[in-house]
């Protein structure tokens, strides 16, 4: 009886310990401590090699670190163990796709069939899997026709996305037309996405389109609309960046960059040094050598290894000789 009681007691403890390991690994992944998560998960899977969640998390940890061979191996295990789970096929295809991007073009071609098969299987298994349809949109528009690329097939999956989520559908169509060098249609669908969803991502896609088309005034107007809706400090930097790069609305750009620096937090993403660099560009456009050198020196002192900062200082000195 005492052995039975021991067994009944120890099993929950073991299970609890396993749960702690996986929970800790998930927490580390959220904290972007991928190598630490990998270490815990590799140790965990030595003890329980067929744990589905553990294998998936380890594949994720490898993927975040761009260890594509290792990620492919883990996700391939999941596909073999649970062939009817769409997300496992999706992750397997995504890892294969990233591997293909990391090798030369001739070798990448050898991955295309497996990538397509994985994504198509995921789409078949789950008619509502949005990420898979996004992957198929990108795959078919980016592939050359000679190896199976097809704008019409890409649009087909964009239509499927639109049924599931109008915003995703419009963004997908905008992406397709932008990639196919049809900026007017891309603009139309990005604007539709903004009208329906209005997320920062929607605004960002339209801003990037305007910048790629050398339309800085439209880019600034769109960023300002995003700022009015979302009130994010990061958007102050974006306005300053466009103003500095295109030598337009310099006073507005200067004001926005100073506001960005004043209200800066790590959540804003772009380091203050880059805002100082943009201010240096603006003051150079304004022919203010003293202020231009002041701000480019601030940028260099904060991030001395950034090459463009030093190039900007050299250009300022050359212009004001």
Report domain extents, the chain: 232-321
The pLDDT assigned to 259 comes to 97
| Long-range CB contacts for residues 314-317, cutoff 8 Å, separation at least 24 | 315/284, 316/280, 316/284, 316/289, 316/292, 317/293
Q: Can you give the pLDDT at residue 226?
A: 96
Q: How high is the pLDDT of residue 102?
A: 86
Cβ 140 vs Cβ 119: under 8 Å:
no
Q: Residue 10: what pLDDT? A: 42
d(CA 44, CA 53) in angstroms, rounded, equals 11
Looking at residue 260, what is its pLDDT? 97
Residue 147: DSSP 8-state: G
User: Would you say 97 and 139 are in contact if contact means Cβ atoms under 8 Å apart?
Assistant: yes
pLDDT mean for each 10 residues of the chain (321 residues): 45 49 89 93 91 94 94 96 96 92 85 92 96 93 76 95 96 96 97 95 96 96 96 96 96 97 94 97 96 97 97 94 80
Instruction: Quote the pLDDT of residue 9.
Output: 42
Residue 190 · residue 171 · CB < 8 Å: yes
pTM as predicted:
0.82
Fold of the 232-321 domain: 1.25.40
d(CA 310, CA 274): 12
The gap from C-alpha 20 to its chain's centroid, in whole angstroms, comes to 29
The pLDDT, as a whole number, for residue 129 is 95
Buried b (16+ CB within 10 A) or exposed e, 4-26: eeeeeeeeeeeeeebeebbeebb
- Position 94 scores a pLDDT of 93
Task: Give the three-state DSSP class for 299.
Answer: helix
Q: What is the largest CA-CA distance in the chain?
A: 94
């Amino acid at each position: 009886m005492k052995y039975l009681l021991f067994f009944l007691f120890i099993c929950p403890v073991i299970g609890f310990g396993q749960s702690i390991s996986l929970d800790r690994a998930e927490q580390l992944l959220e904290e972007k401590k991928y190598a630490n998560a990998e270490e815990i998960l590799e140790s965990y899977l030595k003890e329980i090699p067929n744990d589905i969640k553990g294998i998936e998390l380890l594949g994720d940890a490898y993927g975040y670190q761009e260890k594509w061979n290792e990620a492919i191996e883990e996700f391939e295990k999941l596909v073999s163990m649970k062939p009817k789970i769409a997300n496992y096929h999706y992750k397997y295809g995504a890892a294969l796709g990233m591997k293909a991007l990391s090798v030369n073009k001739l070798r990448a071609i050898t991955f295309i069939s497996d990538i397509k098969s994985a994504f198509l299987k995921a789409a078949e298994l789950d008619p509502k899997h949005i990420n898979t349809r996004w992957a198929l949109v990108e795959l078919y528009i980016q592939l050359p026709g000679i190896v199976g690329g097809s704008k019409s097939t890409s649009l087909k999956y964009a239509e499927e996305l639109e049924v599931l989520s109008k915003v995703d559908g419009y963004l997908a169509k905008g992406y397709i037309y932008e990639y196919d060098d049809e900026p007017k249609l891309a603009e139309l669908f990005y604007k539709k996405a903004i009208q329906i969803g209005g997320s920062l991502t929607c605004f960002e896609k339209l801003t990037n389109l305007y910048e790629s088309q050398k339309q800085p005034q439209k880019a600034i107007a769109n960023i300002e609309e995003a700022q009015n809706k979302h009130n994010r400090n990061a958007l102050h930097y974006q306005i300053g960046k466009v103003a500095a790069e295109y030598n337009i609305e310099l006073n507005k750009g200067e004001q926005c960059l100073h506001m960005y620096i004043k209200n800066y937090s790590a959540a804003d993403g772009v380091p203050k040094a880059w805002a100082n660099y943009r201010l240096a560009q603006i003051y150079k456009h304004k022919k203010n050598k003293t202020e231009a050198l002041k701000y480019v020196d601030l940028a260099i002192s904060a991030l001395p290894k950034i090459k463009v900062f030093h190039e900007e200082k050299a250009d300022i000195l050359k212009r004001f000789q």
